[in-house]
C-alpha cells in the first residue's frame, strides 16, 4: 500500500526587513492624510491631538508585543486564526476565518482600492467616479425615474488594481515581498520628506497660536465655534476622536498570517511587529506635529473633505501640493 505524501512545507523566504516592511506597509494607508481633521474637531487643541496619536501608538505597540509573544509560541501561518484555535476551539477559529475572508479583509481591500482610484482621478480626471462607463436599469422608483446600477471608471480602476496585486501575490512570496518592500520604502521616504519639508516651512506664529492653551479640550465646529466639555464628556470625546487614529494604525498583525514563511519566525515575527509599529507611530506623531507647525487648528479641523495633508502640502509646495499628496496616497494604498 502506498504511503500518503508528506504535507507540503512553506518556504522560509522572508527575513526581518521583509516582515518589518509588511507591518509598516499594511498600517500606512490613507488615514494619516485625513483623520487628523476629525480628531481636531473632537479635541479642539494641539496637545490633545498629539495625545490621541501617542495613546494609539502605545496601544498598538502593546498589542504588537503581545502578538509577538503569541507568534513565538505558535510560529506557523494563520495568525489570529491559529491563536483563537489554540486559546478556544476550532469552531471559534472557523467563525473568525470565514468572517475575515468574507467581510473584514474583503471590505478593507475594497476600501483601499476605492481610495487609490479616488486619488488617481486627481492626476487623470478620466478615471473619476463621475465618468460612468455602463448603466444597468433594474427598476423604477416611486416617481417613475429609472433605478440604475452604474459602473464608473473609478470602480474599474479599483478592480484592476486589486486583480493585479492578487495575481502578483499568487506568483509566489518572492514577487509579493518585492512589491511590498519597494512600495513601503517609497511611502516611508515620501512621508519623511513631507514631514521634513513641512518643518522647513515652519511658521512660528501659527505654532505659538496652536500650542497656547494646548491642553484646553473642547469641541471645535467647522464654523469656528467651540463647546466646552465636562470631565466625563472629555473622556468620551477623546475616545471617539481616537477612532480615526486607531483606524490608521490597524492591520499591523498581517505579518502573523505569513509566520510560516518567515525565517526564524520565533524571533523575526515579534521583532517585525515591534519595529514596524514603532516606525509608523513615530511617523504619525511627527506628521501631526508638522500639521500644527504649518496650519492653524481651525484649518486642520475644516480642511476640505478632511484632507489635512493636502492643505499642509499646499502651504509647503504651493499649488502642486495637491498632486504631491495624490501621488503619495496612491503609493500608500497600492502598497498597503
Residue 336, pLDDT score: 73
SS (H, E, C) 221-283: CCCCCEEECCHHHHHHHHHHHHHHHHHHCCCHHHHHHHHHHECCHHHHHHHHHHHHHHHHHHH
Residue 5, pLDDT score: 56
Mind listing the pLDDT tens digit for each residue in 39-75?
A: 999 999 999 999 999 999 999 999 999 998 998 888 8
Torsion region of 28: left, alpha or beta (phi above 0 gives left; psi -120 to 50 gives alpha): beta
Query: In the predicted model, is pLDDT for residue 1 greater than 50?
Result: no
Mind listing the pLDDT tens digit for each residue in 217-274?
A: 988 887 778 888 888 899 999 999 999 999 999 889 888 888 888 889 889 999 999 9
Break the chain into its structural domains and give their ranges.
Answer: 16-76+172-334
The cell 498600517 sits on which residue?
A: 27
Cα distance between residue 1 and residue 106, in whole Å: 44
Length of the chain (residues): 336
Query: In the predicted model, is pLDDT for residue 120 greater than 50?
Result: yes
Query: In the predicted model, is pLDDT for residue 144 greater than 80?
Result: no
Give phi and psi for 250, each to the nearest 5: -80, 175
Query: In the predicted model, is pLDDT for residue 131 greater than 50?
Result: yes
Three-class secondary structure of residue 132 per DSSP: strand
Mind listing the pLDDT tens digit for each residue in 269-279?
A: 999 999 999 99
Torsion region of 305: left, alpha or beta (phi above 0 gives left; psi -120 to 50 gives alpha): left
Three-class secondary structure of residue 122 per DSSP: helix
Amino acid at each position: 500500500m502506498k504511503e500518503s505524501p508528506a504535507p507540503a512545507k512553506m518556504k522560509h523566504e522572508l527575513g526581518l526587513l521583509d516582515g518589518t516592511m509588511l507591518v509598516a506597509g499594511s498600517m500606512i494607508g490613507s488615514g494619516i492624510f485625513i483623520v487628523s481633521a476629525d480628531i481636531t474637531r473632537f479635541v479642539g487643541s494641539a496637545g490633545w491631538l498629539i495625545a490621541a496619536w501617542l495613546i494609539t501608538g502605545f496601544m498598538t505597540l502593546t498589542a504588537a508585543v503581545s502578538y509577538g509573544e503569541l507568534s513565538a509560541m505558535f510560529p506557523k501561518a494563520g495568525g489570529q486564526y491559529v491563536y483563537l484555535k489554540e486559546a478556544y476551539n476550532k469552531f471559534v477559529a472557523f467563525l473568525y476565518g470565514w468572517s475575515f475572508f468574507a467581510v473584514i479583509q474583503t471590505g478593507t481591500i475594497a476600501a483601499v482600492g476605492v481610495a487609490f482610484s479616488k486619488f488617481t482621478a486627481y492626476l487623470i480626471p478620466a478615471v473619476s467616479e463621475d465618468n460612468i462607463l455602463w448603466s444597468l436599469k433594474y427598476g423604477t422608483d416611486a416617481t417613475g425615474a429609472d433605478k440604475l446600477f452604474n459602473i464608473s471608471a473609478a470602480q474599474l480602476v479599483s478592480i484592476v488594481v486589486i486583480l493585479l496585486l492578487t495575481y502578483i501575490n499568487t506568483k509566489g512570496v518572492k514577487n509579493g515581498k518585492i512589491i511590498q518592500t519597494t512600495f513601503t520604502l517609497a511611502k516611508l521616504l515620501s512621508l519623511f520628506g513631507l514631514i521634513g519639508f513641512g518643518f522647513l516651512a515652519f511658521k512660528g506664529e501659527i505654532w505659538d497660536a496652536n500650542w497656547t492653551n494646548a491642553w484646553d479640550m473642547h469641541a471645535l465646529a467647522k464654523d469656528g465655534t467651540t463647546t466646552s466639555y465636562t470631565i466625563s464628556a472629555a473622556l468620551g470625546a477623546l475616545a471617539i476622536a481616537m477612532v480615526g487614529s486607531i483606524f490608521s494604525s490597524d492591520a499591523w498583525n498581517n505579518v502573523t498570517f505569513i509566520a510560516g514563511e518567515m525565517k526564524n519566525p520565533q524571533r523575526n515575527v515579534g521583532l517585525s511587529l515591534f519595529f514596524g509599529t514603532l516606525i509608523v507611530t513615530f511617523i504619525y506623531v511627527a506628521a501631526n506635529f508638522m500639521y500644527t507647525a504649518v496650519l492653524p487648528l481651525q484649518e486642520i479641523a475644516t480642511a476640505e473633505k478632511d484632507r489635512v495633508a493636502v492643505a499642509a502640502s499646499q502651504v509647503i509646495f504651493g499649488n502642486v501640493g495637491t498632486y504631491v499628496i495624490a501621488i503619495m496616497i496612491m503609493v500608500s494604498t497600492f502598497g498597503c
